[in-house]
């Protein structure tokens, strides 16, 4: 299997334009997610966040795309303000998101909930590492993170629909960096350190 130095290479500059989002989010025949997927994902995140008693007033959706998560997040966290961050100029002009990279974005104050869903595989390793460090700076409560890994590509992904022009790395590459700043609660939800979750032994993620 390729190492992080020989990971699958994405093009140096992607054009996240109307055609890209029409293929992966608009066309029923080729899209990878729809509003039903978004509702189920938000129910999962909100259930874990609510269980741990975290107050959510500020949400950052880092790499928000067409904004599928916006409406279900605001339904579940009714007092929260949602902000979308997106590198695609096309989407920022269309939807009013913050334009920028998750590796570089800064905010006046951190967010109670940060969502970064299937974004970091588009970044080369140095930029992805900076993005993980920046997610810790942007978070003061919970982070939901999902990333396509090498094993996901070969064992789980629908390769006929999933964008293959990405950087594929091992799950351990991400875990080793996340552990420095977060505690994993399960299902992709993490708490920033030093917040200490109260978990029964079999509720905690298995080692």
Residue 101 has pLDDT above 80, yes or no: yes
Could you read off the pLDDT of 107-164 as tens digits, one per residue?
A: 999 999 999 999 999 999 999 999 999 999 999 999 999 999 999 999 999 998 899 9
Residue predicted with more confidence, 174 or 205: 174
The answer to whether the CB of 88 falls within 8 A of the CB of 17 is yes
Q: Which segments of 52-200 does DSSP mark as H helices, in order?
A: 70-76, 89-95, 125-138, 150-155, 171-178
Nearest to 115 by CA among 74, 151, 79: 74
The per-residue pLDDT for 5 is 41
Residue 96 has pLDDT above 60, yes or no: yes
The answer to whether the CB of 71 falls within 8 A of the CB of 62 is no
Residue 168 has pLDDT above 80, yes or no: yes
Residue 2 has pLDDT above 50, yes or no: no
130 Cβ contact list (under 8 Å, min separation 6): 103, 104
The per-residue pLDDT for 17 is 83
If pLDDT is split at 50, 70 and 90, which confidence band does 9 have?
very low
The per-residue pLDDT for 14 is 62
Could you read off the pLDDT of 186-204 as tens digits, one per residue?
A: 999 999 999 989 889 998 8
Peptide bond into 81 cis (omega under 30): no
Could you read off the pLDDT of 134-149 as tens digits, one per residue?
A: 999 999 999 999 999 9
CB half-sphere exposure, 176, CA atoms < 13 A:
7
Residue ranges with strand state E in the chain: 58-62, 81-86, 98-99, 111-117, 139-146, 182-186, 189-192
If pLDDT is split at 50, 70 and 90, which confidence band does 18 have?
confident
- Tell me which residue has tokens 């992904």: 157
Q: What is the mean pLDDT of residues 9-30?
A: 73
Could you read off the pLDDT of 26-68 as tens digits, one per residue?
A: 878 888 788 999 999 999 999 999 999 999 999 999 999 999 9
Nearest to 142 by CA among 112, 119, 116, 120: 112
């Amino acid at each position: 299997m390729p190492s992080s130095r020989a990971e699958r290479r994405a093009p140096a500059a992607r054009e996240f334009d109307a055609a890209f989002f029409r293929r992966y989010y608009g066309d029923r025949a080729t899209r990878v997610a729809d509003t039903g997927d978004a509702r189920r994902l938000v129910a999962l995140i909100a259930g874990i966040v609510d269980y741990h008693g975290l107050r959510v007033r500020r949400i950052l959706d880092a790499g928000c795309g067409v904004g599928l998560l916006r409406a279900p997040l605001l339904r579940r966290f009714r007092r929260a303000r949602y902000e979308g961050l997106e590198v695609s100029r096309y989407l920022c002009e269309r939807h009013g998101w913050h334009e920028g990279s998750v590796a570089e974005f800064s905010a006046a104050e951190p967010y109670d909930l940060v969502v970064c869903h299937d974004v970091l595989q588009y970044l080369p390793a140095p930029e992805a590492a900076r993005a993980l460090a920046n997610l810790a700076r942007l978070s003061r409560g919970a982070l939901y993170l999902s990333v396509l890994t090498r094993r996901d590509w070969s064992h789980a992904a629908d390769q006929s629909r999933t964008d293959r022009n990405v950087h594929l790395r091992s799950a351990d590459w991400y875990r080793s960096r996340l552990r420095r700043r977060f505690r994993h609660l399960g299902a992709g939800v993490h708490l920033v350190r030093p917040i200490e979750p109260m978990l029964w032994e079999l509720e905690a993620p298995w080692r």
